[in-house]
């Protein structure tokens, strides 16, 4: 405690000293900065080169496994084993054709798309309505309600998987996409409501009054006037929820049994068990599983980065 206080005080002193000290004469200041900048241009260039060398070396560590995954999916398994580093002798799509047909990858893909798109659409509707209500209306208990939704922000839903399993079973939803969608929907509420209500609160009240005078119903004000104005926040919420849902393995593992209902991550494990020796197929399967999100990421990297880090970055 003392230690912390001391540090804080000394830091405060330093900053106040910074402000109150008589301004360094212009000439001297230039001398200082000038000196720092001009010091041996060769050394600076070398340092820059070293820096970029390090950064690209790490970029290589990041990209090489992905590159190997894609490249090997076009080779035969024999070729992968004998010449793992060389590009394929002939670019064959055999593995892809086989993954698609024999391993029912098409079915997994459709399931993943259906679950993820439905979930995100429902989250956007349900969370934006709730956020709007919490942000724009005053009624007794609204603060308690806001806290209630916030409470789930830091608690992983996985810890409640046993009772959740029983709830889903009692509703007759075991082994159905409904189980997944409802779970993801509930899990997405705290953050989505938190983010959206922040945006709704910033909108001017006058908009609401104007719409009301024009004869809009309360629901029309929300849907026609307010919702379009928070579109950037909706995009963030969509990506924040879409990526983890698309990639999720845990809840399908618990809830889904039938092969025809499996999503890609769960289907992958089945597929890996069946084709352990055929590496060509395995690499093709992994490439297919990752491509949709990789394409989306390359196309929308700014949105992705904003969406996925939204939980940890203020503002």
Instruction: List the interface residues with other proteins, window 138-197 (CB under 8 A).
Output: 145, 148-149, 151-152, 154-164, 166-167, 169, 174-175, 182-183, 185-187, 189-190, 193
Q: Which CB atom, from 117 or from 293, has the smaller least distance to other proteins?
A: 293
Among residues 61, 144, 147, 213, the one that binds other proteins under rule CB under 8 A: 61
Q: Which of 279, 280, 281, 284 binds other proteins (CB under 8 A)?
A: 279
Residue 18 makes contact with other proteins by CB under 8 A = yes
Question: For other proteins, which is the closer residue by CB, 98 or 150?
Answer: 150
Stretch that binds other proteins, among 88-96, 113-121, 127-135, 227-235 (CB under 8 A): 127-135
Contact region with other proteins (CB under 8 A), list: 88-96, 100-108, 128-136, 201-209:
128-136
* Among 62, 65, 85, 63, CA closest to 75: 85
Smallest gap from residue 268 Cβ to other proteins (A): 5
> Rounded to the nearest whole angstrom, what is the least distance from the CB of residue 14 to other proteins in the complex?
7
91 binds other proteins (CB under 8 A): no
Among 13, 34, 46, 52, binds other proteins (CB under 8 A): 52
Residue 265 CA from chain centroid, whole number = 16
Give yes or no for residue 1 binding other proteins (CB under 8 A): yes
CA distance 78 to 87: 13
With CB under 8 A as the contact rule, the residue among 34, 50, 84, 232 that binds other proteins is 84
31 lies in the binding site for other proteins (CB under 8 A):
no
CA 310, chain centre distance (Å): 8
Among 199, 217, 224, which residue's Cα sits nearest to residue 136?
199
Cα distance between the two ends of the chain: 30
Among residue numbers 234 through 273, which ones bind other proteins (CB under 8 A)?
243, 246-247, 249-250, 252-257, 264-265, 268-269, 272
CB burial of residue 123 (10 Å; 0-12, 13-18, 19+): buried
Compare residues 42 and 62 and give the one whose CB is closer to other proteins.
62
Given the rule CB under 8 A, which of 49-57, 99-107, 202-210, 230-238 is the region that contacts other proteins?
49-57
């Amino acid at each position: 405690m003392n230690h912390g206080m001391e540090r804080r005080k000394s830091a405060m002193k330093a900053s106040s000293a910074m402000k109150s000290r008589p301004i360094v004469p212009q000439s001297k200041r230039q001398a200082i900065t000038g000196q720092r900048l001009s010091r041996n241009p060769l050394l600076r260039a070398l340092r820059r080169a070293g820096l970029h060398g390090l950064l690209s070396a790490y970029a290589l560590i990041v990209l090489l496994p992905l590159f190997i995954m894609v490249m090997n999916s076009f080779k035969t398994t024999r070729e992968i084993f004998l010449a793992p580093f060389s590009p394929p002798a002939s670019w064959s799509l055999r593995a892809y054709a086989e993954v698609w047909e024999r391993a029912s990858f098409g079915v997994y893909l459709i399931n993943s798309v259906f679950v993820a798109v439905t979930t995100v659409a429902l989250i956007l509707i349900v969370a934006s309505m709730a956020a709007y209500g919490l942000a724009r209306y005053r009624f007794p208990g609204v603060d308690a309600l806001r806290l209630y939704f916030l409470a789930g922000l830091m608690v992983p839903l996985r810890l409640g998987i046993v009772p959740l399993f029983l709830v889903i079973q009692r509703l007759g939803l075991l082994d159905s996409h409904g189980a997944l969608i409802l779970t993801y929907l509930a899990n997405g509420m705290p953050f989505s409501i938190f983010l959206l209500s922040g945006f709704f609160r910033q909108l001017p009240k006058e908009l609401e009054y104007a719409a009301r005078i024009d004869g809009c119903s309360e629901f029309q004000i929300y849907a026609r006037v307010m919702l379009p104005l928070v579109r950037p926040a909706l995009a963030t919420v969509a990506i924040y929820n879409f990526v983890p849902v698309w990639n999720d393995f845990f809840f399908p593992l618990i809830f889904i049994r039938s092969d025809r209902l499996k999503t890609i991550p769960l289907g992958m494990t089945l597929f890996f068990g069946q084709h352990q020796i055929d590496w060509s197929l395995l690499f093709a399967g992994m490439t297919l599983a990752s491509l949709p999100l990789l394409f989306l990421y390359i196309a929308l990297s700014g949105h992705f980065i904003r969406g996925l880090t939204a939980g940890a970055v203020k503002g």
